[in-house]
Structures are given as structure tokens and as C-alpha cells.
Amino acid sequence: MEYTIPHYFEQFECTAAQCEDTCCAGWAIMIDEESLDRYRKVEGTFGNRLKNSVDWERGCFCQYGKRCAFLNEDNLCDMQIEAGEQMLCNTCRDYPRHMEEYEGLREGSLSLSCIEAAKLILGCEEPVRFVHFEDDVEDEEYEDFDYLLFTKLMDARERIIEILQTREVDIHTRIGLVLDLTDRIQKSIKLREVYKIDDILEGMQGMEAFAFFENRVKEVQSEELEYCGAMRKMFRVFSKLEVLKEDWTEYVKKAERILYGNGQQAYDNMERKFAERFHEEGSIWMEQLMVYFVFTYFCGAVYDDNALGKMKTAVIATLLIRELAFARWMEEREHLTFSMFVDIAHSVSRELEHSDVNLVRLEKMCDKMPHLQTKELLRVVLH
């Protein structure tokens, strides 16, 4: 079996009781079938506690006060303390390590929803490198796996990440280019002409890719954009998603009031100032967010043919995290730290990435809503 991981993958260490936002609270922890079978067979006092602490119908741990039944007052896991790490289910053993499965390949990433993992992802100042290795695990065969499409998606993703990491170019131009490029790739997929992806990528080598994009930028920027209104429409995406943490709704409403409550002129004036202050560090943070989302999800289009939906999700998530950072900057009297940005990014990830409903819903919105079409998104990105 072949594997690919980002270079910082092995650097992660759980901070356990010192964690600022424990993963054992706030969402349902799903249990794999093998662990459920093992839990059913445990006897004695601990076995009784186990049987009373699992929602057997849903296949997850029970929660009390939004905390896992095994999370003690010291924010440590009683199951690991009493029965050892081998008793943990796959979710608890692996998180925040995440694995995407393809035929002959597993790709590992750290989940942005873990605040310690988010510090590694966003605190990486150099462009992310990807490490490849193999082991003796036999490759799994996937029925109806479209290997041709997969190889084209892999080639496209490699070029997309190269573009996103071209730091001589403004980050918004980089994001706009990969969005526009994916729109062209999606058309080839839709027409069942994936072989044409090679030709599309051929013209996207080095700085020539940005020269090619210049005319597209001029076309998009020739149309006047009311940026405040466009971002407010995009911000309302949050209201259409399933809520996982009960304080999330008020958090978003508060940010919306801060951002848009004083009208367009006030927003525009503050946004220009924020953009200037945010540019240097923020460009790297936005790059790392885009690379994270693209690496994790883009090639999953082999299963649903929706590469553009995954790219739009990456773009929208990145823009909304930046917008929430803008709100926090205003709330903190024009002050934004790395820790604040990490907290925002991991909070958005918790709501979006840990709900299949939300990921699917956002992709559907990207397909149907006029303001989330490629040209409209490009206008926002390149404003």
C-alpha cells in the first residue's frame, strides 16, 4: 500500500488534559463495528459502565452535559486509564489523524478541527511538502474505481498546490487561478473527456499560468462589485448548515453584527485597513488553509465527479475564516493574533468537516446558488 502525508504529520502530539478545546466534548463520537463488538463482550464493573455509556442504536458514546461519558473532571479518558489504549475505538485512537482511502493509496492528514493540529497546519511558515512511502499491506480493490479519472485528479491537484504555493504572486490571484482552472477541469469531467485535462494542465506551467490568467482577471474586475454585500450573502451560508455546537449560532450572529451592522461604508473602510494589516501573515495562513482543503478533499471527486464543488468548498471555507478573523480583529480593536486565527479556523472546521450533511449541503449550494457560481466567486476573490 502507498501512503502520502504532509511533512508535519508526525509532529502532532495530543496535549490531553491541557487541550484548550477537548475533542471529547461537543459532538457525537462514533464507534466502529469492531470496537462495538469488543465492548459487548467486556464483563465486570467496567463492562457494566461500558454498556451503560454507549448509545447502541446510534453506535456512539453517550454524552452528559455535552461531554463523553468517559471524559472525567480532569479532561482525561477513563476508558484509557482503566482499560488501556487498546480499548479505544478507531475514532479516539486516530483523531485528529484522518485518512482518505483510494485504490492502492491512503492519504493521511491532520484535522483542522483539532486546535493543536490547527497550530501545526497554520503555523507552518514554509510551503507544505508531501511525503510518500509504502508498506507491505496488500492493496484493496475498489469496485468501479475510475483509475483514469483518479490519475488526472492527482495530476491536477499537484499543479493546483504548486500554484497555491507560488508566493511571488498575491494569494487572492493564486486562489482565483485554481478556482478558474478547476472550473475548466470540471467541464471536461462532465463531458466525459477527462483525457483533455492533460491539455488544460499543459498550459498551467510556472509563471505562464498567471500570465494566461491575466485576461480572466481583467474580465472579472471590469464588472463593479459591492464587496460588503457579496460577503454578507456568502456569510449566510453558515445559517443553512447543521449546527453541531450549541454556541455556534450565537457566535456567527455576533460576528455578522460586528461586520455588517454599521453599513457598507463602515465595512469598506475597515476592510481596507484590515487587508493591509492582514496581508503578510494572513497570506501564508490562507495558503495553508487552501492547501489543506485541496489535499484532503479534491481527489475525492473520483467518487462523485464533483471536483469543482470541492474546490468551491475550499475557497468559501477559506474566505469565511478570513471574514470571521476580520470580525475578531474589529472586536479586539484592530488586533488579531495567531492564536485567535487558529481558534477561528478550528471552530469553522468543527462545524463543517465533522458533518457529512454540511459538506454535501455546501457542495449543493455551490451548484445551485447564483452568488456561489464560479464567476461570482472569482469576483469576490479578486476584488
- Write the DSSP string, 321-358: HHHHHHHHHHHTTS---HHHHHHHHHHHHHHHHT-HHH
What would you measure as the largest C-alpha separation in the chain, in angstroms?
73
Return the pLDDT at 340: 97
364 DSSP assignment? H
**What pTM value is reported for the model?**
0.92
Cell of 383: 476584488
Beta bridge partners of 131: 5
CB distance 235 to 323 below 8 Å = yes
The C-alpha atoms of residue 62 and residue 68 are separated, in whole angstroms, by 6
Return the pLDDT at 17: 67
Residue spans of alpha helices (H) in the chain: 33-40, 44-52, 78-83, 90-94, 115-123, 147-164, 171-190, 197-202, 208-221, 227-235, 248-260, 264-297, 307-331, 338-353, 356-368, 374-381
The C-alpha atoms of residue 78 and residue 84 are separated, in whole angstroms, by 9
The C-alpha atoms of residue 260 and residue 19 are separated, in whole angstroms, by 33
**Reduced to 3 states, what is the DSSP secondary structure of residue 49?**
helix
Considering only CA atoms, which of 237, 228, 284 is closest in space to residue 261?
Answer: 228
Instruction: Print pLDDT tens along the chain (383 aa).
Output: 899 999 999 999 887 667 777 777 777 788 999 999 999 999 998 889 988 999 999 999 998 888 899 999 888 888 989 888 889 998 888 889 999 999 999 999 999 999 999 999 999 999 999 999 998 888 777 888 999 999 999 999 999 999 999 999 999 999 999 999 999 999 999 999 999 999 999 988 888 888 888 888 888 887 788 999 999 999 999 999 999 888 899 999 999 999 999 999 999 999 999 999 999 899 999 999 999 999 999 999 999 999 999 999 999 999 999 999 999 999 999 999 999 999 999 999 999 998 889 999 999 999 999 999 999 999 999 98
68 DSSP assignment? E
Considering only CA atoms, which of 89, 92, 88, 126 is closest in space to residue 23?
Answer: 92
Beta bridge partners of 98: 109
Helices 115-123, 264-297: inter-axial angle, 10-degree rounding:
100
